[in-house]
Amino acid sequence: MNRINSFPPIVDSNSRILILGSMPGAKSLQMQQYYAFPQNQFWRIMFQLFDEEFSEDYETRINLIKKNNIALWDVIESCERKGSSDTEIKDEIDNNIPELIESHPKIRTIFCNGQKSYKNLLKILGKDFKIPIVVLPSTSPLHTAKFEEKLERWKVIKDYL
């Protein structure tokens, strides 16, 4: 099985919240873009949250999150995995989340895109970490909740900006 690596974080000095996924899926790795799989609802949710017209253009997508002071990363730096499912992740190595947060002191809240990123983050940071951690329903198509339900839960992000 091949070892796969996540992407560098998308973060800048204005980032106030950090959204953490687990590990980019096969399509994202192929395209070298966060949440590139068309059925993943992450970008649809982001555009709806901020009342922007949806775009497939990756640069437009990145500008949207940066404009809204959102940083994006994954909890896993590298792992072995068949396909794109979190349940297939083996032999994982964590990203250095504490270092990212320390070097970007405006980050006040962490949002986890799904249970896998949340469980891994708790292993990395422990339960008594100094900033709030909020777990949100996964935007993956494997998490079968309706789009409207996911969007409603994700709206909490705006309370932290």
- Tens digit of pLDDT for each residue in 120-148? 999 999 877 889 999 999 999 888 889 99
First vs last C-alpha separation in the chain: 41
Rounded Cα gap, residues 116 and 129, in angstroms: 18
CA distances from 151 to 45, 70, 129 (A): 6, 17, 27
Q: What is the pLDDT, as a whole number, of residue 1?
A: 66
Cβ atoms of 113 and 136 within 8 Å: the answer is yes
**Residues with catalytic annotation?**
40
Residue whose structure tokens are 């809204």: 68
Domains of the chain: 3-160 (3.40.470.10)
Of the spans 2-6, 66-70, 78-82, which averages the highest pLDDT? 66-70
Q: How many CA atoms lie within 13 A of 71 on its CB side?
A: 25
Rounded Cα gap, residues 79 and 94, in angstroms: 9
- Tens digit of pLDDT for each residue in 13-35? 999 999 999 999 999 999 999 99
Buried b / exposed e over 35-50, threshold 16 CB at 10 Å, is: bbbeebbbbbbbbbbe
